Structures are given as C-alpha cells and as structure tokens.
Amino acid sequence: MQRLAQARRRGAVLAAAVPLLAGLALVLTPGVSASAASGLSLAPAASTTSEVRTSDQMVDVGPEADGTPVRLDTRLYLPAGSAPRPAVLLAHGFGGSKESVDAEARTYAADGNVVLTFTARGFGRSGGLIHLDSPDFEIADGRVLLDLLASRPEVRRDGAGDPRVAVAGGSYGGAFALMLAGADPRVDATVAAITWNDLASALFPQGARDSSTPGPYKQLWGARFFGASVDGALGATGGAAATGAAGGSSAGAAGASSAGAAAAAKPSDLLCGRFEVTLCRQLQDAAENGRPSAALAATLRRNSPQASISRVTAPTLLVQGEADTLFGLDQADANAAGLASAGTRHAVRWTDGGHDGPSSNPSLDEEAGRTWVRTYLAGTRTDPLPVPAFTYSLPVPRGTDSAPVATLDTYPGLRGGTEKVSLKAPQEPSVLLTPPGGQPSSMTSIPGLGTSGLPTYRLAALPGMSAAFDSTVLDRSFTVVGSPSVRLSVTSTGTEATLFVSLWRVEGSDAVQQRALTTPVRVALAPGKATDVTVDLPASVWSMAAGSQWRVLVTSTDSSFTTPRQARADRISLAAPVLTVPTAQGRILASSTDRDTESIALAAGIAALLAVIAASALLRRRRRHREAVRDDLADVPLVVDRLVKTYADGHRAVDDVSWRAERGQVVGLLGPNGAGKTTTMRMMLGLISPDSGTVHVLGRPVHPGSEVLGRVGALVEGPGFLPHLTGRQNLEAYWAATGRPMAEASMDEALGVAALGGALDRPVRTYSHGMKQRLGIAQAMLGRPEVLFLDEPTNGLDPPQIAAMRPILQSYAATGRTVVVSSHLLAEVELTCSHVVVMNAGRVVTAGPVSELLSSEDTTVFELAPGASLAPARAALAGADGIRSVEVVDDPTKPMVTVVSDLPREALVRVVVDSGAQVVGVGSRRHLEEVFLGVIASSQGPADGSDGDGDGSMVERLRQVRAR
C-alpha cells in the first residue's frame, strides 16, 4: 500500500510528461508480482518449508546492442530428494524481481518441481536495459535460462539440452511465457495470466470493428505507474540506489552506466530510467502526438505474443480478467485464436480478477494453474484437457463473497450465440460536444481500483458530452458472455471523431456498471456526412435479468484515455436499434458456499431499526393526539400562529410569524431574499419542525407525517422527476405512490394545466426548465388538494405561459380552495393574488387584501423625472395642511412620492408642482411594488434613505428586488 501511495503521488506530479511511457512499460505496480497485482496466483500460497533449498546466482546472458555485458540475478529452488525433477521457470511482473514470486516458487518446489526465478533485464540487481519483452533481448535471455536448467543434474531432461519445463508468469511475465514458448520448442507447458497479445492494440485500443486505425492511449494507466520510471531515471544518473549493479555485478553497473550516458543526450531522456533510449523516445513522441508512430507500432507488435503464437506447441492455459481495464479479454481471445490455428492444446479461464482487483475465487484459479502444470510436466498429452476448455465467472451475487463459476466444453470466442436486445431510438440525433482541451472529461472507471457497481454514472454522463440509448425492458433472462456490439451513425464537424462507449444497467434515475469497462472508437469521416460504424463493446460477462433495462452510453471524452484537444461537435444516432449480445449457458462449476452474512446482518439491522422507528412513531403519534385539534379552525384552510425557527448557526430565520388564509383566497407570500418565506413554507408543509408555534390546516396540527398533509399539494424549491420516464408516466407514478385510486387524481385536469401536448409522452430529460415547471404545478394539483402551496410557480415560464397560469390559479381558488404563492414577481402577484403577506427579516411586516393595500381614495402617487430631487416636494408637503403621510422611493431611475392626504387631489397636485418638483406623472392608485418597497424600507430604516448609515446599500437592495 505504501508503494502504491508513493506511485500515485509521483504520478500526480509527472503524469503530464510521459504518461504513454509509463502505461506501456509499467504494466504492474512496481515491486509487486503478477499474481499479487492481479489477484491471481499461479500456484496456491504456501509457507516456506525447510525441505526447499535455494541458491542465488548471477547468470551471463546476451549483451546490450552497444556490447555492454549483462548478467541476470537468479534463484534456484530445489525440492527434497535427489532424483531429477521437472522444472518451472517463473517470470515476474513489470517493476518486480525474483523476490516478487518467491511464495509461488516455494509452492511449486514443495510440489516436487525445480523452480528457477530471475529478475528480468533492466530491473533490480540484473543488468541491461528494458526492451519490453524483445525477442532479441528478454526472450533471448529466457532461452539462456532454459539452457541453465538443462545443465542442472537436478532437472529431468527429455533429451540432450532439453529440460522438462513449464513457463509461467502474469502480465509482463505472461507475455514472456508465451513468447518464450513460441521461440523455443523445449517448453512443455505454459500458464500465461492477464497479459497481452498485441501490445499496440492493448495500449491504443480501437473499438470500431475491422478498423486498423490505432485508438486513443490509456493515459491513466500511464499516470498510475509513472513513478517507477522516474525511480529508474534517478538510479541511472546516480541519484538513487544503483539499479544496474548489485552484489558485485559489474555487468549490471555497466548496463546502468550505459543507460545514464544515453539519457544525458536530452533532458527528456532523464525520464527514461532503464528503458532502451530509442524505444523511450518513440514512446515520448507518441505521448506528445497522441498516436504511435509506425516504427513504435511495429516494435510493440514484434514485442508481443501475436508475432510467435503460431509457433507455440506447448499446452497453454490462458487466464484473463473480466474487468481488467489494462489487458482486456480481447487480448486473451486473440491468443486463443492463434493457439487454435496452430492446433495447440489450450484452455481459457476468465476470472473476475485482473489488474483492477483480486479474484473472488483465488483458490479455484490457483488450482487450475497447478493442475495444468502438474499434468503436462508429467508428460500427459491426451484428451480430455485437465481443466475445462472454457471457464468464466458470473457477477458476484449480492451479499456473497465469491462469483459463481461456469464452464463450457468449447471456447466460443467473443461473438458466440447471440441475442438481439431492442434499443429505443430517440426522435432526433444526440449532439455530443468535445470541449477545447478535452476537459472536463467523463469518468467511466478508475483503472486499477475496480469501480464496478459504484454510483459513477453522473461522472460519466456529463451534460452535453454524452448520449444514452436505453433498451426496452427485458422479457427474459440470459447471461452475456463475450463482446456486445452496437451500430452507430456518426456525423461530425471534424474529419475524425473519437468516442467512448460503455454498457450500464438502468436503476431508476441512475445507472450502474456490472463491469467498469469502456471501449474507445476513433472514426475517420467527412465533415457533415454520416458514417455508420459497428462498435464492439469490451468483452466480459453480464447477467441480464428479466425486467431489467440496459443503457448504451456514448461520451465524447473519457479520463482514462487521451482525447482530442480540439473542440468538436458530433451528432450520434443508432444506425440499427439493437444491441447484439453473445450469450452462453454454461454448467455451474462452483459458487460461494458462504452464508449470505451480509444480507442476514442487514436484515437484522433493519428489523432492529424498524422496531425503534415503530416505537418512536407510536410515541410521537400518542403525543400528537394529545395536541388539541382546533375544532374552531376546522373550516379554515390555513392558520400560522407564532412560528419561530432558529438554525444551528444562531440565525433566526422565522421570528414570531402569524397569519391565516381563508377559502377562496390566492395568498401571495412576499419578501426579499432571506426574509424567511421558504423556511415558513417548509414548516407549513411539515418538512421541518418549528422551534415554537403551530401550523393548522383545516383545524389539524401540521408536523412531519401529519395525515392532513394528504389534503395539501405543493411545489417547493423546484420540481423533481425521473428523467427516463415521460411526463405522463411521472404523474402516474407520483399518484400511484399516494396509494389512492386513480379515479381521484383528476388526471385530465392536471394534464390540461401542464399544457405539454405531444411532449407529455417524451422522457422528462428532454424537457426545458419551463416544461418541467408546468409539469410540477400539474403534479401539485393532482387530486385537487384543498390547500395548494406553490414556491415560485412561474419560474422558467415565458410571458404567455405566465398569463395563462393566472386564471387557472384564480379559478381553482374560486371553487372554495386556497392557494399560497411565494414569488418575486410583484406585478404578477398583484394581478393574481387576492391577499398578500409581506415578510422581512423573519417577521410579517404587513398583510391584507391586495385591494386594501392598493386603495387610492385618499392616495396620490407622483412620479418624478429620472434623477430628479425629492427635496422640493418633500419640503412643500411638510408645510402643507391636511397631509397625513408622505412616502418616498428614492430610486434614481424612477423617483416616486406617495401622499395620503385630506386635501382635494387638484390642490395637492398644485402644492407639489409649485414646489418646483419635476413631476412627469400623477396617479390615483399605488402598485403592489410601491407598497412592497415602502413597507420593506420602513422595516429596515428611514424611508427616504436620507438618514442613517448603510442607506445606500438598502436602496440598492430595494432596486434589486424591484428588478426581480
């Protein structure tokens, strides 16, 4: 864990420099064996036994290209007894050494085999440079090690210079095992785990079927393992412990010195560590350009099993991880195809382990490798195979520790028997944007951490950068074994589109991945012209149950891969509305026999929790029954009495608020931001409890869970809907959740309020904000509640829609119901509401009928020219008889003076005009805006803004309220 943490820290600093180099080379965590990193052991773990003897030796192998001699650090394990025994050559993963596979080596030796382990060229105490399993270097080294085994008297031989030997390894070591078997016919058996077939296609994957164009690079793998490359660079230049020389190996020192001298040629070469410099520079160029050069691609393919797999004659067991984001099942499938073409005995085992996490059935996986080696080192080459020809792991069932394992008599490949799953094609193509610089980037998976089953969908499906194609609900169950495929139509503004496709199981409004895998697609096309492409999704195993729904997600970016940095827009649609899935029905070989302790513990915990909740609810219910039901308020829709609410930070949001609403009223709840309106509304709905005070609806006290709330409808703080359901389905689902008969819903009336037309049967995720708002109002009116609470109901509506909503609310209240509206649109409240309650700083500052508040029998409103001074009018009115009150709004854009007077209006106008005030308008009726601004200003300080500190900010706040 410490090494992993160090690698992450180093990767975070240096990943931007050469992520390609790191991912290509460091295919396993530095210093960890293949088995440890993948969760796979090549033999069962065992404690050290005194019957196994070991000896270390530095072995001369071929020199570097410049003639520098190289020696490998080796260890020989000898079992008890003197008779010649079969041998096992055991290879470690990248960044490891002979110490990394010590436990496996001792187990094989205790099983009666001579075991030879070694530290590969370019690592640890061994000399030389890293060539990435080059046939001329690392594989040639393997042939020397076979010669060494043949020369040992303890090793059984099939002929002169021909040892009876199996070669086993994982990842970097797995490729070594396959390539050595293809290079040297003396190998009698091979076990290759979680490795590659073609290193170029593994690190630059392409999901477009039959395309030879390299795909984007798996950059996060590079970032995770980049630190070890820097360690190598420091060692090569003398800054760290010598990686080339140890234990008196002058050859190793020379190799390291050679690397250091070469690295001095360019500053960027310092990042090469013990990599061969030409290869390192090609990798750096690929990281900068985003594509491998022809020379690099040729080198990677030559340094891969695909170049020699046809020459492998040794029976081979291929073990690969179903959720491995580094080397996927397609790599093992290609190796199996090569072995099949050569007529070589082989078996394929898919485990749920890999580079991203351990196997859930390690003992079964280990036993398969042990059986394979034991059988073929004994000289048995007859049918049947010692293990099933094909073994695969099903997804781990909920609450269990291990995956069920199934087998088939033949390996079906990645496109076996197929099923067709219907996909629902949207009416219009989806537009995917690639942002400049490729950021932000979708996150489908985190390589090496195994995120399957986690709620990562919102990180993957970024708005505007993703398109989702859902299946119909499955009418039967089947198991997908292999690579699903989908056919897409792509139209782009560029000459090339890079997309990322993944498979998800839909769960309500979210989606999860059974396997955290994604496939990149790079397509060449003509701008503006549609191109169809068949996409092979990552191969794995999925359980598709009857009643489930699946989603193909297409994104324009993915954080695990390099993505184009140029901005681009793509139009994506289904070229064919089907998801083709390969299926299989194998025999269940083994599954977890553990008790479902998770479910048992969960059930016990839930039962205990329910008991506590039930007792608490009963206690609360008895207490509430003791609360007086106000029979005198039984016909009053809403009474708020002395409400107080103080939050944990000491802020008193509501302070002694009291008011009531009668039948037939549309009440507007007004106030600036922070006035306490929403807090009050939440208490009126029983969403939160007041510190003191009460709320009664139709005489019944309101608290969380009150039965009387069944007679209330509400839209508070915006609507919330299931995006994959249509508008109609959302309303039906909401009403079904109430448990009341559909006949009581008044659904047609609610649909008329929504006024969505044909859009009512489209998924809500396609709705605009205004459409969702209208649907939310309609949902609140389902069942014709006696009290209707609407928080900012016209938010997002255009002016015609606002005007259409006005008579709906008024006619609804006219039937004897009550509507409470919280809003900032003062002009609309004035036109819609019959009564208003104005709050400020948590208190009610005025309340009453709109008609009375706007009454103008003794009121005259003067509007002055913009920027005009209020002083002349104020001075003249102060000295006049019969003036009862003067209110001013000192707004530079629209200064106003409102006068309540006993004088005839014509006399009052003469007084103001004679004062020299720049009067541009005289009215006999105040607007609600004037009343609102006046009472708010009065509650905060002097109305004219002429006295007191901080007045400018108060006027500015009033201006902001007026603007809203």
Q: Which residues is 170 bridged to in the sheet?
A: 193
The number of helices, as runs of H, and strands, as runs of E, in the chain is 26, 39
pLDDT of residue 955: 40
Separation of alpha carbons 635 and 696, rounded Å: 11
Separation of alpha carbons 198 and 298, rounded Å: 10
Separation of alpha carbons 556 and 438, rounded Å: 9
Preceding omega of 436 cis (within 30 degrees of 0):
no
Which strands make up the sheet holding 712-715, listed edge to edge?
Answer: 712-715, 787-791, 818-822, 666-670, 835-840, 843-849
pLDDT of residue 246: 35
Considering only 317-321, 593-597, 673-677, which range has the smallest mean pLDDT?
Answer: 593-597
- Which amino acid type is present at position 77? Y
Looking at per-residue confidence, does 889 or 604 come out higher? Answer: 889
CATH 2.60.40.3680 correct for 631-848: no
* Average pLDDT for 429-445: 82
Q: Containing H/E element for 351?
A: strand 346-351
Q: Containing H/E element for 863?
A: strand 859-864
509 half-sphere exposure, CB direction, 13 A CA radius: 10
> Which residue's entry shows tokens 């070694």?
118
Separation of alpha carbons 560 and 960, rounded Å: 46
* Average pLDDT for 689-717: 87
13-28 residue pLDDT tens? 333 333 444 444 444 4
Separation of alpha carbons 300 and 132, rounded Å: 8
Please check whether residue 54 is in contact with residue 117, taking contact to mean a CB–CB distance below 8 angstroms: no
Fold of 418-589: Jelly Rolls (2.60.120)
| Residues listed for the chain | 964
522-577 residue pLDDT tens? 999 999 999 999 999 999 998 888 888 999 999 999 888 888 888 888 999 999 99
Write b or e for each residue in 263-281: b if 16 or more Cβ atoms lie within 10 A of its Cβ, otherwise e: beeeebbbbbbbbbbebbb
Task: Map 10-76 to HEC letters.
Answer: HHHHHCCCCHHHHHHHCCCCCCCCHHHHHCCCCCCCCCCCCCCEEEEEEEEECCCCCCCCEEEEEEE
Most confident listed range (486-500, 616-630, 693-707, 912-926): 486-500
Separation of alpha carbons 538 and 486, rounded Å: 12
Separation of alpha carbons 392 and 405, rounded Å: 6
SS3 state of residue 315: coil
Q: Say yes or no to pLDDT of 129 above 80.
A: yes
Long-range contacts of 328-332 (CB under 8 A, 24+ apart): 328/202, 328/205, 328/517, 328/538, 328/539, 329/414, 329/483, 329/538, 329/539, 329/540, 330/201, 330/205, 330/414, 330/483, 330/538, 330/539, 331/195, 331/196, 331/197, 331/198, 331/201, 331/202, 332/195, 332/197
Q: Say yes or no to pLDDT of 936 above 60.
A: yes
Query: Nearest to residue 248, comparing CAs of 55, 117, 57?
Result: 57
Please check whether residue 335 is in contact with residue 234, taking contact to mean a CB–CB distance below 8 angstroms: no
| Confidence band of 124 (pLDDT split at 50, 70, 90) | very high
DSSP 669: E
| Confidence band of 221 (pLDDT split at 50, 70, 90) | confident
Separation of alpha carbons 784 and 359, rounded Å: 57
pLDDT of residue 48: 43
Lookup: tokens for 394: 């099903």
Separation of alpha carbons 603 and 606, rounded Å: 5
Burial of 69 (C-beta count, 10 Å sphere; 0-12/13-18/19+): middle
- Sign of torsion over alpha carbons 628, 629, 632, 638: positive
pLDDT of residue 794: 81
Long-range contacts of 689-692 (CB under 8 A, 24+ apart): 690/643, 690/644, 690/645, 690/654, 691/644, 691/645, 691/646, 692/642, 692/643, 692/644
Beta pairing, strands 835-840 & 818-822: unpaired
Please check whether residue 793 is in contact with residue 668, taking contact to mean a CB–CB distance below 8 angstroms: no
Please check whether residue 274 is in contact with residue 144, taking contact to mean a CB–CB distance below 8 angstroms: no
| Confidence band of 925 (pLDDT split at 50, 70, 90) | low
- Which amino acid type is present at position 851? S
Query: Nearest to residue 398, comparing CAs of 543, 221, 203, 187?
Result: 543
Distances (CA, A) of 415 to 42, 367, 539: 28, 28, 9
DSSP 168: E
Distances (CA, A) of 834 to 83, 96, 809, 837: 105, 80, 11, 11
Separation of alpha carbons 928 and 663, rounded Å: 22
216 half-sphere exposure, CB direction, 13 A CA radius: 26
Distances (CA, A) of 666 to 733, 787, 813: 29, 10, 6
Lookup: tokens for 303: 């340094």
Please check whether residue 334 is in contact with residue 306, taking contact to mean a CB–CB distance below 8 angstroms: yes
pLDDT of residue 450: 52
- Sign of torsion over alpha carbons 804, 809, 810, 812: positive
Looking at per-residue confidence, does 140 or 228 come out higher? Answer: 140
User: What proportions of the chain, in percent to the nearest 5, are helix, strand and coil?
Assistant: 35, 25, 40
The whole-chain average pLDDT of the chain stands at 81
Percentage of residues in the chain having pLDDT higher than 90:
37
DSSP, residue by residue, 79-114: -SSSS-B-EEEEEPPTT--GGGGHHHHHHHHHTT-E
Burial of 746 (C-beta count, 10 Å sphere; 0-12/13-18/19+): middle
Fold of 31-202+306-387: Rossmann fold (3.40.50)
229-260 residue pLDDT tens? 445 445 443 333 333 333 333 334 434 444 44
Considering only 142-156, 255-269, 295-309, 640-654, which range has the smallest mean pLDDT?
Answer: 255-269
Selecting from 3.40.50.1950, 3.30.9.10, 3.30.70.100, 3.90.1150.10, what CATH number does the domain 855-963 have?
3.30.70.100
Query: Nearest to residue 75, comparing CAs of 99, 51, 46?
Result: 99
Can you give the pTM of this predicted structure? Answer: 0.60
pLDDT of residue 353: 83
How many C-beta atoms lie closer than 10 Å to residue 890's C-beta?
Answer: 19
DSSP, residue by residue, 568-634: EEEEEEEEEEEEEEEB--PEEEE---S--HHHHHHHHHHHHHHHHHHHHHHHHHHHHHHSPP-GGGT
Q: Say yes or no to pLDDT of 453 above 60.
A: no
What's the N-to-C CA distance of the chain in angstroms?
56
pLDDT of residue 627: 55
Q: Which residues is 666 bridged to in the sheet?
A: 819
Q: Which residues is 391 bridged to in the sheet?
A: 349, 407
Distances (CA, A) of 845 to 659, 915, 928, 948: 11, 33, 14, 20
Distances (CA, A) of 453 to 445, 511, 553, 858: 11, 9, 16, 71
> Which residue's entry shows tokens 């009531």?
660
pLDDT of residue 232: 46
Q: Say yes or no to pLDDT of 53 above 90.
A: yes
pLDDT of residue 956: 44
